[in-house]
Structure 1
Amino acid sequence: MTNPFVLIGVCILLLLADFYIINGIRGALTKYSFRFVKRFTAIFWTISLLLIAGVFMSVYLNIGLGPRAAILLAFFLLLVVKVFLLPFILVDDVRRIFLWFARKNKTPEPEFPASQPKPEQIPRSEFLMKAGLITATLPLASLSYGIISGAYDYRVRRQTIYFPNLPKAFDGIKLGQVSDIHSGSFYNKKAVLGGVELLLKEKPDFIFFTGDLVNNRTSEVKNYVDVFSRIKAPLGVFSVLGNHDYGDYYTWPSIQAKKQNLQDLLTVHKNMGYDLLLDENRRLKV
């Protein structure tokens, strides 16, 4: 169970970082109107506070899988932007400190005549901020593409295995292995079905599912049982549980609820036709 004091401490650190970041951004927006800067600041804090509140809800409240995934995804993507933006703000602040000391110890410059304009100064703060935003956009775009498109980019990796003492009966046998399904992260059932069909096209003699059918709760796989039930093999489908399947990363209302969740997951494996091994072994026959 997640310690609430740890989560509160993390949130305080995030808020302090947000305060530092927004002040750095405001310093680079001096040429914009006061109204624009004020609205930008309000939007920044509204989004940050809503996402932090959403993380609390995701951890401690039984909200739907879709909203929970959307909140955590938005929080993570915004966090990436802040992490990449923060070093540029730090560099700008260090520059300002050195500049302040330099000006303090420098002899006063003569005043320019009123008719003679002062030389234009390079807006380094604005430059650093824009450079930071551009730098942060690159990983943000890459992660967004990977989440949206790469989530269902299923591929088959073929590997020939050699054993010196392999029985002749197993020579040429094809084994299929699939792992880390994490049903709670899905939003495209048709794409998931395509991945199952890709596995079945290989026509494996055995299929082994090696854990993590869900992220935390058995209810995540409810809408995909019919899809994963299609996974069949002539000599059997065998499965084991993964660390996420035990529900250790979710805050349960009671120990009994956690035990019931695990029991429900065992039933799902059985209903899908998987031979679930619980600290067991099977003798394979061909």
Structure 2
Amino acid sequence: MRWLIPIVLYLLLELYAFQAVKTISKNQIIHIVYLLVSISILGYVIYTFSNYDRSVGPTKYTLRASGMLLLTLVPKLILVLFMFGEDIIRVCVAGYTYLTNTFFEGTATQYLPDRRKFISQIALGVAAIPFAGLLHGIFRGKYNFKVIHHVLHFNDLPSAFDGFRVTQISDIHSGSFDDPAKIEYAVDLINEQNTDLLLFTGDIVNTMAKEMDDWIDTFKRIKTPQYGKYSVLGNHDYGEYVTWESQEAKEANFQAIKDIHNKIDFNLLLNDNRYIEKEGERIAVIGVENWGHNFKKAGDLTKATKGVNKEDFKILLSHDPSHWEHEVKKHDDHFHLTLSGHTHGFQFGIEIPGFMRWSPVQYVYKQWAGMYSEMGRYLNVNRGFGFHAFPGRVGIWPEITVIELRKGEKPT
């Protein structure tokens, strides 16, 4: 029964969108092929999600099903908007014609005008744009890795760290990968940055530690910079989105996920900190467990900063950017730079540098992608390395961030 209402709504949407196809072509073969394809996709999606195993969690099959659903649903929604708009005009014309004939004894017998072919053609043309975008996002966009550079200036940065370069990656989600060659390429891209420090801000898997088994050797190839590799956990690393046979099984999976970090030579910070020393000066790298305004709150800034002086220069790793908004940016300890991920930029949006930035996720997260600053404190929200839920990226590409720290005022 829980599927009944969504299926009925989808079928109504499908029948409405089908009117555009019928208006453009009277060929019965085209009509039959269109309906067979639509019914087959709907059947596959229903079968996949009705057999979803909560003890396993998301799989490549559920990713494929969600991709197919969006690939067909979004264009059809656009078709329906056009067709519904035309129907409003048709009904108004019909009402006017009826009233005119009623009161002035006209001779018209058809009150409701026929659909206009050019409206359907425009609708299909517009709907083809998101269809092509989603198709590109599924087959190419999800591995369209981009290196994003930022230069940040701080008056209180220790002089020895002037020009210090940090690489950030986030949201690996290894359980979603389906192309080893592309991941190898991305690892090479990370290594090419040749920075001083490498930081990973959580979500190494979707749910299960075993998702990473086939990728350990690949990620172990990430070179350890002179000043090390550090990481934290994300919300998906706690195994809380599946049903476990026992608490012991959940805890064993959680321990296995934490062990992965050591296997790929990352120093996992669990509400802990480390000092990076250079030429007799130092900065603090602080890592908290996940803290999300709408997710798990395991992060503890007090515990994580134990032994760190208030005046020290601090880089904080915190997976969810809502932590910065609700706790970090006004904290008395003054965290100079916070690195987060989590949002993936929704894996869908429009980014035109210097002109436009938009994604549906901005209505949920105030800080959702890129660099932000308030009161001399910075937050970088990495767009993510991998993908989840939708097997693609449209307009929001997977990101490797390189941040250069500079001492002094930003040049004008």
Q: Does 1:205 align with 2:196?
A: yes
Q: Which consecutive unaligned segments of at least 5 residues does structure 2 have?
A: 279-412
Secondary structure at the counterpart of residue 164 of structure 2: coil
CA offset digits 1:236-263 (Å, max 9, x no partner): 1100011222233445455444333222
**Matched ranges for 1:126-275 at <5 A:** 126-231=117-222, 232-275=224-267
Q: Which consecutive unaligned segments of at least 5 residues does structure 1 have?
A: 112-120
Pick the aligned partner of 1:82 from 76, 80, 97: 76
Residue 273 to residue 26, structure 1, CA distance change in 2 (3 Å): closer
More helix per residue: 1 or 2? Answer: 1
Code of the aligned partner of 2:49: V
Secondary structure at the counterpart of residue 146 of structure 2: coil
- With 152-161 and 122-131 compared, the bigger mean Cα shift is at 122-131
Give how far 1:43 is off.
4.1
CA offset digits 1:17-42 (Å, max 9, x no partner): 32322332454527736676466445
Aligned mates of 1:122, 1:187 — CA distance in 2: 50
Pick the aligned partner of 1:46 from 37, 40, 56: 40
Code of the aligned partner of 1:148: F
Aligned mates of 2:121, 2:243 — CA distance in 1: 41
Code of the aligned partner of 1:109: T
Give how far 1:186 is off.
1.8
Give how far 1:188 is off.
1.5
CA offset digits 1:55-87 (Å, max 9, x no partner): 333464748833232112111222212222221
Aligned mates of 1:39, 1:180 — CA distance in 2: 40
Q: Does 1:282 align with 2:274?
A: yes
Residue 60 to residue 129, structure 1, CA distance change in 2 (3 Å): farther
State the superposition RMSD in angstroms.
3.0
Say if 2:17 and 2:79, in contact at 8 Å, map to a contact too: no
Aligned mates of 1:61, 1:102 — CA distance in 2: 59
Say if 2:143 and 2:182, in contact at 8 Å, map to a contact too: yes
Aligned mates of 2:53, 2:19 — CA distance in 1: 35
CA offset digits 1:104-157 (Å, max 9, x no partner): 33245279xxxxxxxxx9853544333222211101211221332222222222
Residue 200 to residue 135, structure 1, CA distance change in 2 (3 Å): same
CA offset digits 1:185-210 (Å, max 9, x no partner): 32211211111111212222221111
Pick the aligned partner of 2:67 from 62, 73, 80: 73
Residue 135 to residue 14, structure 1, CA distance change in 2 (3 Å): farther
Alignment TM-score, normalising by the size of structure 2: 0.57
Pick the aligned partner of 2:92 from 83, 91, 98: 98
Say if 1:65 and 1:220, in contact at 8 Å, map to a contact too: no
Secondary structure at the counterpart of residue 51 of structure 1: helix
Secondary structure at the counterpart of residue 171 of structure 2: coil
Say if 1:238 and 1:274, in contact at 8 Å, map to a contact too: yes
Residue 240 to residue 130, structure 1, CA distance change in 2 (3 Å): same
Code of the aligned partner of 2:73: L
Residue 235 to residue 80, structure 1, CA distance change in 2 (3 Å): same
Aligned mates of 1:226, 1:23 — CA distance in 2: 50
Code of the aligned partner of 1:145: H
Counting aligned pairs with the same residue, the percent is 29
Secondary structure at the counterpart of residue 282 of structure 1: strand
Residue in structure 1 matched with residue 367 of structure 2 by the alignment: none
- With 41-50 and 184-193 compared, the bigger mean Cα shift is at 41-50
Residue 254 to residue 280, structure 1, CA distance change in 2 (3 Å): same
Which of these two proteins has the greater Rg computed from alpha carbons?
1
**Matched ranges for 1:6-45 at <5 A:** 8=2, 11-28=3-20, 29=22, 32=26, 37=31, 40-45=34-39
Alignment TM-score, normalising by the size of structure 1: 0.80
Aligned residue pairs total: 269
More strand per residue: 1 or 2? Answer: 2
Say if 1:25 and 1:129, in contact at 8 Å, map to a contact too: no
